[in-house]
Amino acid sequence: MQLSTACAVRPATEQESINKLMGLAVFGEKVAAKIYLLMSELKEEYAPILTKFAQMEAQHGAWFMEASRKNDIEPDKEFADNELGYLIYQVDNHFKARSFESLAVVQGFIVESLAIATYESFLSVAHKYPGTHEVFKKALEEENYHVDWILRYLRLRFFDAEEDFRVLAERVNIQGIDCMGGTMMNIADYLDKVGLSGADCAGAMMDGYTQLLEKVGFEQKKATKHVVNMFMPLFHKYRRGEKTK
C-alpha cells in the first residue's frame, strides 16, 4: 500500500530558497541599520560614526536588492519578518532600557557575526548569481570594519572589568543566540538547496564569536568555555526537538 504524501511538506525549490535567504540578507541589513541609529540616539558623542554605519547597512540592503532584481530573485519579506521579529523585539527592549552596551553586544556579536558567517559562505556560490559576489564581498569587508569599531568600544568600556562584560554578554547573548540559532535551524534546508551548509555557517559563527570574545580581552580557554556554555543549551533543545520560537 502506498502511503499518502498529501500532508507532507513540499521541500523548497532552489528559487524559493534563494528568495528566503536573500530576504534575510536584505531585511537583516535594515535591522542592522536600525540598531546603529538607536545606538546613535543613546550616545551623542558617537552619533556621527554610528549614523554613517547605519547608512552603510542601508546601502548593503540596497545593493542586495538590486543584485536580486538582476537575477530574478524576490527577497521574501514575509519570511524575513517572521525570522527577525524576535530579534527586533529584543532590540526595542534594550533601547527602552537605554542600554547602549546591550545594543552594542547584540549588534557586534549577533547581527554582524551572523552576517559575516553567512556572507563568507555565500561567496563560494555567488558565481551562480551574477553581480552578487562583488556586493557581498564589499559588504563583508564593511561588516568587519563595523565589528572592529564595536570591539574597540567594548574593550575600552570594559577595560579591567572583564567580569562585568561576561555578565552583560551572557544576559544579552543568550536571548540573541537563541533566536539566531532558531533561524539557523530554519534556514538549514534553504542553505543546502543553494549549495551551502548550515553546519558550516553555524560553526563559522561560533568560531567568529569566540574570536570576538578573545579580542575584547578574554583568554582563549575562557572564551571557548563561555561560547560552549551559551551554545550548548540551544543544541540540546534542538536535539530534543523543541523550538525556541
Which one of residues 60, 94, 193, 226 is an interface residue with Fe ion (CB under 5 A)?
60
User: All 3 cell numbers of residue 78?
Assistant: 514575509
Instruction: Output 143 or 178, the one with its CB closest to Fe ion.
Output: 143
Which one of residues 25, 57, 106, 136 is an interface residue with Fe ion (CB under 5 A)?
57
Give the binding range for Fe ion (CB under 5 A) out of 55-63, 91-99, 151-159, 212-220.
55-63
Q: Kindly report each contact of residues 34-39 with a partner whose C-beta sits within 8 Å and lies 24 or more positions away, as own/partner.
A: 34/88, 34/91, 35/91, 35/103, 35/106, 35/107, 35/111, 36/107, 38/91, 38/95, 38/103, 39/100, 39/103, 39/104, 39/107
Does position 67 bind Fe ion by CB under 5 A?
Answer: no
Which one of residues 76, 83, 101, 143 is an interface residue with Fe ion (CB under 5 A)?
143
Which one of residues 146, 179, 198, 234 is an interface residue with Fe ion (CB under 5 A)?
146
User: All 3 cell numbers of residue 225?
Assistant: 568555555
Q: In angstroms, what is the minimal distance from the CB of 150 to Fe ion?
A: 9
Instruction: Output 63 or 190, the one with its CB closest to Fe ion.
Output: 63
Does position 117 bind Fe ion by CB under 5 A?
Answer: no
User: All 3 cell numbers of residue 151?
Assistant: 570591539
User: All 3 cell numbers of residue 172?
Assistant: 544579552
Q: E strand or H helix at 110, and its extent?
A: none
- Tell me which residues touch Fe ion (CB under 5 A): 29, 57, 60, 143, 146
